[in-house]
Amino acid sequence: MSEVKFASFWHGPELSPYEHACLASFAAYDNEVSLYCYEKPANVPPRIQIKDARRILPIETTQHFRVNGSPSMAHFTDYFRYAMFTHTEEIWVDTDMLLLKDFDLRESFNMIGRETAESACTAILRLDPNDARLSALIRRVDAIKELPIKWGDTGPRLLTAVYGVADTYAPPYFYPVHFDDYYKVFLPRFADECAKQCSNAYTLHLWNNRVVKMGLFKRIGPPAGSYLHDVFAKQRVLASFSDLYPESVMETMVHNVENRVGCDEGMRKLFRVAVPSMKAAIDKWLLSSGGARATMQRRRDAR
């Protein structure tokens, strides 16, 4: 079959073994894979073409999208992919997307996948530059440059608002494992379940944002017997990892993060609000009282 052109973006000194494995998976099926960057990172897989990101957007654009005062690469890369579609015919893929089989889909128009029944996702995407909606999408992102923004303002939520979910691919095509089940590909006890869910899928999204919150050390690979380990083994990328997580350690990591954060989004929001509030209260107490040891000493002196 003829090769398909995929592209992604990276901003940083090096790719972790996970990003390395994901990009390598697209090249393994004889596709043309380009990585746009402003400076070439280390640990780029063979057969990946490095392209100057300045061909799409000037480097100053990385500073235009801020969350809590700091530049957000997540929001910038949303904008970058939309701009890329006006310059190339490449299909965008996030660096946490794995290709699982030959990509025989041929879309000359828009290629959009749904992460849920109601929401489109931007992790693998192609938007037709001749469709007026792409210009509208870019204008809406331009309008919020330098403004306070939230997660999703430039990504899935905006894409869904502009394009809707009609004429999109159902979740099993590109997102067979739901984002709330992100951890299952790391646990051997879910290997059969994940294999069944992914049996006809083109790609697997590793949901990097969730994985990072789990505390995954990206130089260490998934446990032997897990679905992700099996995929990496078949694609011969396990050598990129310095070691493998023991199953018991991964089980503990998943247990801790799921209990701490919970599956309900409301609990996640509460967690994000409560922890800074508690920290502020503790800091205030430490400053005013001199800390726990000083408080205990004052109590002893008062006796």
Residues 173 and 224: their CA atoms lie apart, in Å, by 26
Q: What is the pLDDT of residues 194-242, one digit of tens each?
A: 999 999 999 999 999 999 999 999 999 999 999 999 999 999 999 999 9
Residues 250 and 222: their CA atoms lie apart, in Å, by 8
Confirm if 222 and 251 have CB atoms less than 8 A apart: no
Mean pLDDT, rounded, for 31-51: 97
Residue 298 has pLDDT above 80, yes or no: no
Provide the greatest CA pair distance for the chain. Answer: 85
Which residue's entry shows tokens 């023991």? 246
> Counting Cβ atoms within 10 Å, is residue 242 exposed (0-12), middle (13-18) or buried (19+)?
exposed
Among the residue ranges 2-6, 129-133, 202-206, 275-279, the one predicted with the least confidence is: 275-279
Residue 107 has pLDDT above 80, yes or no: no
Residue 272 has pLDDT above 90, yes or no: no
Catalogue all structural domains in the chain, each as residue range(s) with its CATH number.
5-163 (3.90.550.20), 184-301 (no CATH)
> What is the share, in percent, of the chain residues with pLDDT greater than 90?
77
Mean pLDDT, rounded, for 71-96: 96
CA dihedral sign of residues 163, 85, 170, 186: negative
Q: What is the pLDDT of residues 153-178, one digit of tens each?
A: 899 999 999 999 999 999 999 999 99
Exposure pattern of 164-191 as b/e (b: 16+ CB <10 Å)?
Answer: ebeebbebbbbbbbeeebbbbbbbbebb
> What is the share, in percent, of the chain residues with pLDDT greater than 70?
84
Residues 122 and 274: their CA atoms lie apart, in Å, by 30
* Residue 276 confidence (pLDDT): 54
* Residue 281 confidence (pLDDT): 46
Mean pLDDT, rounded, for 91-120: 94
5: left (phi over 0), alpha (psi -120 to 50) or beta: beta
DSSP at 246: -
Average pLDDT, the chain: 88
Residue 271 has pLDDT above 60, yes or no: no
State the pTM of this model: 0.84
The closest alpha carbon to 109, from 132, 93, 143, belongs to 132
